[in-house]
Each structure stands twice: as C-alpha cells, then as structure tokens.
Structure 1
C-alpha cells in the first residue's frame, strides 16, 4: 500500500489540494451568501455590484440601462431602453467560477508569491470578463431576443469557461520546467 501511495503521490496531492481548497472556498462563499440574506444589497453585495457595473458600461455604449432589485425575488432586474431583458442572479457574479479557478491553481501551487499573484490576476480577469460578458449578452439580447437560449446557454458560458481553461493551461505551462537544447 505504501508503494502505491508513493507511486501516485503527486496525483493524490493534486486531488487533496483541489478538493480541499474547493470545499473550503465553497463553504466560505456559502457563509457569505447566508450572511447576505436580508442585508442592504439584493441579492448580495457582489452580485449587486456586478449588476450596477454592467449597467454603467451598457450606459456608456449609449443605451439607457437600469438595474433594480426585484420586489418578489432576490435578483437584480436589468432593463435596456425601458425593455426588461434579464435577471442578474447570484450565479452571475462570477464567484463560483473564480472559486473553481483558484482551486485548480492551488492544487498546482508552486512558490507562494507566484501563486498568489496568479490567483489575484486571474480572479480580477475573470471578474472583468464576466462583466463584459453580461454587457455583450444584454446588448445581444436587446437586438436578438430570438437567440436567447443559444446566447445565454451556450455562447457566453463557453466564453467564460473557455477563458478559465486557458488560464489553467497558462498556469501549468508556467510551472513546466523549460528544456534547454
């Protein structure tokens, strides 16, 4: 049994670090969401902030954008030029994706400073791209509402998860020792 653990030591380390950090970060996020209930921001501070930032950028493109808390659900309602377009829910704030990204990077952690910088840079990039994703999705839905299912269900999730995958590949590539010839 000891030989088996030695043989698969790196795989076991990866799985333990990935699952451990993912579970820990997910628990922290769940606590954050629980503490946010009934607070000053609907549905929570970060989702509220993402909705307002998205609305401001949409407005910057010349559209009349408005986000407001729903009176019936813990969501933000997004209007463009007076037309109700979308619900911005807790899942739209990118934190779940950032947690997944961080768990993978931590599982392949190397030097503390390098890992911390990559985690911070990646999280900021994912957050920013998520806001851009919401903006483009909202404007696309405004002009092409008949394509809602493919835009919201396939194209835009594919972009954000594809970017996370590319960040993971960059991280692994940064850790791979360079072979000199």
Structure 2
C-alpha cells in the first residue's frame, strides 16, 4: 500500500490541494451569499454589478437595454430594445467558474508570485469575458429567441469553459512547477 501511495503521491497531492481549495473557496462564497436576504429577494452585490455591466456592454453594441428587478425572484430581468430576453441570476456572475479556475491553479502549483499573478489576471479575464458573454447571449436571444437552449445551454457555456480550459493549459505548460521541471 505504501508503495502505491508513494507512486501516486503527486496525483494524490494534486487532488487534495484541488478539493481543499475548492471547498474553502466555495464555503467562503456561500458565506458571502448568506449575508444577503434571499427571502426579501435581495440580490448579491456581485450579481448586481455583473447585471449593470452587462446592460452597459449591450449599449456599447448600439442596443437599448435596461434592467428591472424580478418581482418574484432574487434576480434582474434584462431587456434589449424593450423586450425581456433574460434573467441575470447569481449563477451568471461567474464566481463559481472562477473558484474552479483558482482551485486548479493552486493544485497545480507554481511559485507564489506567478501563482497569485496568474490567478488575478485569469480571474479578471474570466470575469470580463463572462460579462461580454451575457451581453452577447442577450443580443442573440433578442434576435433568435427560439435558439435559447442552443445559445444559453451549449454555445456560451462552451465558450466560458473553453477559456478556463485554455488558461489551465497555459498555466500547466508555461508557469507551473511541472512546466519548469520539464523544460529541456
């Protein structure tokens, strides 16, 4: 048994770091979310900011847009050219995706300076691309409402998770300890 533990130590270490950081970050995020009163339909601050930035981004694409609080849910209704196209809910703010990204980077260690810098730059990139993603979904739904499942359920999640995967590949191959050990 000890032989196998030693043989798979790097993999087990990766899993331990990944799950520990993921659990800690998720618990911190849940603690943050619990500070808002969902019974009174209060929306968390990050989702409010993402909603407002999405609305402004839609306007950058020369569409009229506005937000209204949802009367029965803790979300914002997003309108394009006066037509309700989407709800911006807590799951739209990309924090859970950023937590997943950060957990992987922490688990696939690098030196601390590179790790912190990559986490900050990567998280900011994911956040900005997510706002653009929501704006493009809203515009696309304005024009093609019958394609909601394809746009919201397939194309745009593929985009955001594709970006995260690409960042992971860059991290592992360029900045992690693994990359520096395997430079020939």
TM-score between the two structures when normalised by the length of structure 1: 0.94
List, as ranges, runs of 4+ consecutive aligned residues in structure 1 with deviation greater than 4 Å. Answer: 38-41
* SS of 2:72 mapped into structure 1: coil
Q: How many Å separate the matches in 1 of 2:160 and 2:85?
A: 20
- Give deviations 1:114-170, integer Å, cap 9, x for gaps: 000000011000000000000111110111111111000000000000110000000
- The count of aligned residue pairs is 180
Matched-pair contact (CA < 8 Å) for 2:52–2:67:
yes
Give the deviation of 1:4 after TM superposition.
2.0
Aligned mates of 2:92, 2:156 — CA distance in 1: 11
Q: State which drifts further: 117-126 or 62-71.
A: 62-71
CA distance in 1, matches of 2:37, 2:117: 32
What is the deviation of 1:38?
Answer: 5.4
Coordinate RMSD, CA, aligned? 1.6
Partner of 1:109: 109
Inter-partner Cα distance in structure 2 for 1:38 and 1:90 = 11
Distance of 1:33 and 1:51 partners within structure 2: 16
Native 8 Å contact 1:41 1:48 kept in 2: no
Q: Which runs of 5+ in 1 are unaligned?
A: none
| 2:74 counterpart SS class | coil
Q: Does 1:124 align with 2:124?
A: yes
Aligned to 1:50: 50
